[in-house]
């Protein structure tokens, strides 16, 4: 991926003087089976994020993730027409995400999604170079 710009859904997000970096991360689950590709465009006070779900691996090679796109598999996020989630995290901890019509199937998908949200929160503050608005830890919420 060209780290000076990010093209998503036909829109190019250019790295300008206020944007410190454009970053791409790959997250694989503990069994090494699947995970996410995550792209960031970061400013000092704002982190934009796009997430693609890894659907499998080309020829079983863990270094070659594949992504679902219009009922076929593609080998890069630039070719993928669908993403799992996009949004932003701000300096004050506020965030907004669009997941479209994602389908979560069973407890494992819920756990994977929750782990992704924690990763996004922690990584956004790391990339912005700011302390977390509030440390991630035990919650007092009992739902």
pLDDT 10s digits, 39-70: 888 888 999 998 888 877 777 777 777 777 77
Residue 14 pLDDT > 70: no
Rounded Cα distance between 104 and 57, Å, is 21
pLDDT band at 77; cut points 50, 70, 90: confident
pLDDT attached to residue 3: 38
Report yes or no: 25 and 57 within 8 Å, Cβ to Cβ.
Answer: no
pLDDT band at 83; cut points 50, 70, 90: confident
Percent of the chain beyond pLDDT 90?
19
pLDDT attached to residue 18: 46
Report yes or no: 98 and 85 within 8 Å, Cβ to Cβ.
Answer: yes
Q: Which range, of 68-77, 86-95, 104-113, averages the lowest pLDDT?
A: 68-77
Report yes or no: 104 and 116 within 8 Å, Cβ to Cβ.
Answer: no
Q: Who has greater pLDDT, 3 or 24?
A: 24
The token duo for 102 is 């994602």
Q: What is the pLDDT of residues 86-97, one digit of tens each?
A: 999 999 999 999
Q: Who has greater pLDDT, 59 or 113?
A: 113
């Amino acid at each position: 991926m060209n780290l000076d710009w990010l093209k998503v859904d036909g829109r190019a997000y250019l790295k300008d003087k206020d944007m410190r970096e454009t970053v791409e991360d790959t997250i694989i689950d503990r069994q090494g089976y699947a995970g996410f590709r995550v792209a960031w465009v970061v400013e000092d006070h704002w982190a934009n994020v796009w997430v693609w779900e890894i659907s499998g691996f080309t020829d079983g090679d863990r270094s070659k993730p594949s992504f679902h796109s219009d009922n076929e598999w593609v080998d890069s996020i630039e070719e993928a027409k669908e993403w799992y989630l996009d949004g932003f995290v701000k300096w004050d901890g506020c965030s907004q995400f669009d997941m479209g019509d994602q389908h979560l199937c069973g407890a494992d998908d819920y756990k994977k999604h929750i782990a992704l949200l924690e990763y996004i929160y922690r990584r956004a503050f790391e990339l912005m170079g700011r302390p977390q608005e509030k440390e991630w830890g035990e919650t007092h919420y009992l739902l």
